[in-house]
Amino acid sequence: MSNMDREKRVVSFFIWDPELERKIDCEVKMIDGISKLLHVATTVEQTIECNKALVLSQQRMLAFMAEIRRKQQNLLKRDDTNLQPIKATVILSDIRFPLVWTKMKKAKSAQKKFAVFCLARIGCEIIDTQMKFIDKQSTDILFTDKLTFENVPHDFQLDLEIYALNKSLAVSTDAKDFAERYSYFSTHGSPKVKRKAQQNETSHQKASNQPQSKFVLIARATYNKESVNRMAKVRTLVMERPQEKAIMQLPIEDSFISRFLIQPLCYTPSAKFTGIVEINRIRYSCILNGGFLHGEEIVRNNNSNPRTFSIPITTDTIILSRNDYLSFSIFNRGFNQEDFSVQDLFTLNIWIRALQQHIVDI
């Protein structure tokens, strides 16, 4: 076997992700099942729920495929020599959209009824809100869901998408016609059904027979680290192009309100570094956690009050190391420089690494 063949085999091995393949196959089956449910749906509510489920399955499938492409692109870009920020928990909540019904003046009362939900995505993880049903009496759309993403990398991007369906259009076309068009995805893993479909359809028809939800993407918004705010804040929406039918367009403005929080895992109680240092030959037991280095004097006499200290660790903190003296210093602008000693070079390197990692994490 040539060297080139061996290299190809190695690359192929690393980019193959059986877990993602399993998830994609699962979504294929989900789309198949949803299409069959649409075929037998008898109420507006059932039709709406099926259409929402179809949107979610298709978006999850697209996200999994994008993740495979991302892994392929990053395969040769790995660099483990530099410190990487710790992962975080990301929370999106209190999503509120004001409604402007004057945009639908000519619409009938029966046409001023919508089913609305939001979809949030980071990487290949997708979380959806509960469905909200609104009519002309509604003044806004408030989602009380708390959309929580765990173990999110520091360079994340959260995409929020708003989908709506005018209830008057939910069953305006024959559900059976729609259900017959699910073969594009369902035949992904079924050669037998695929061959049968090829016999009954031309290539042009197959290209146009992808299942489509009746929910319409109305607008989207993007969040990143700079979007954080503990209070609910007004944010900008990017509106999708106007729909062909005016009654399909949800009457919202290009701004909305939401709360967006990030909690680095270094702030959690379990994410802490502990150790012993000396200050002026006095030993202290220390804990590095949540942006502070806390220390308490190790005393032999239980009757005496131990001395304590608390030093802030921020993105502006400077760590100075002196290997020859087995010591390090912490310098914060506006504060005195704090000097610490340790017992050996190994312990010194561990402390320096822990402090530098904490600064990167904050």
Q: Tell me the pairing of strands 158-166 and 114-122.
A: antiparallel
Q: What is the CATH number of the domain that holds 122?
A: 2.60.40.150
Q: How many CB atoms are located within 10 Å of the residue 48 CB?
A: 21
In this structure, what token pair is assigned to residue 37? 């449910």
Residue 292 lies in a domain: yes
What does pLDDT average to over the chain? Answer: 80
User: Could you give the percent of the chain with pLDDT greater than 90?
Assistant: 38
Contact between 292 and 274 (Cβ < 8 Å): no
pLDDT digits (tens, 9 = 90+) for 71-80: 776 665 555 4
Contact between 170 and 216 (Cβ < 8 Å): no
Q: What is the CATH number of the domain that holds 311?
A: 2.30.29.30
Residue 109 lies in a domain: yes
Q: Name residues whose C-beta falls within 8 Å of residue 216's C-beta, 6 or more positions apart in sequence.
A: 163, 164, 165, 240, 243, 248, 249, 250
Answer yes or no: do 44 and 179 share one domain: yes
pLDDT at res. 159: 96
Cα separations in angstroms, 352 against 310, 313, 317, 334, 358 = 17, 13, 12, 22, 10
Say which range, 83-87, 99-103, 236-240, 279-283, has the weakest mean pLDDT: 83-87
Q: What backbone torsions phi and psi does residue 69 show, to the nearest 5 degrees?
A: -65, -40
pLDDT at res. 8: 40
Confidence of residue 221 (pLDDT cuts 50, 70, 90): very high
Answer yes or no: do 162 and 111 share one domain: yes
Answer yes or no: do 155 and 60 share one domain: no
User: Does residue 272 surpass a pLDDT of 80?
Assistant: no
Positive/negative CA dihedral, 10, 20, 225, 219: positive
d(CA 282, CA 276): 10
Nearest in space to 286 (alpha carbons), one of 334, 335, 358, 360: 358
Answer yes or no: do 128 and 156 share one domain: yes
pLDDT at res. 110: 67
Answer yes or no: do 23 and 166 share one domain: no
What would the DSSP string read from start to end of 289-329? ETTEEEEEE--S-TTSPPPEEEEE--TT-EEEEEGGGTEEE
Residue that is last in its domain, among 234, 249, 265: 265
pLDDT digits (tens, 9 = 90+) for 138-162: 999 999 999 999 988 888 999 999 9
Answer yes or no: do 106 and 235 share one domain: yes
Answer yes or no: do 240 and 207 share one domain: no
Residue 79 lies in a domain: no
Residue 4 lies in a domain: no
d(CA 255, CA 234): 7
pLDDT at res. 132: 95
Q: Give me Rg for the CA atoms of the chain.
A: 28
Contact between 248 and 166 (Cβ < 8 Å): yes
Residue 8 lies in a domain: no
Residue 80 lies in a domain: no
pLDDT at res. 119: 96
- Domain containing 307 equals 273-361
Residue that is last in its domain, among 265, 285, 300: 265
Answer yes or no: do 282 and 309 share one domain: yes
Answer yes or no: do 39 and 63 share one domain: yes
Answer yes or no: do 242 and 131 share one domain: yes
Answer yes or no: do 117 and 243 share one domain: yes
Say which range, 112-126, 214-228, 313-327, has the weakest mean pLDDT: 313-327
Confidence of residue 243 (pLDDT cuts 50, 70, 90): low
How many structural domains does the chain have? 3
User: Does residue 22 surpass a pLDDT of 90?
Assistant: no
Q: Which residue type sits at 224?
A: N
Answer yes or no: do 103 and 50 share one domain: no
**Which has more confidence, 180 or 130?**
130
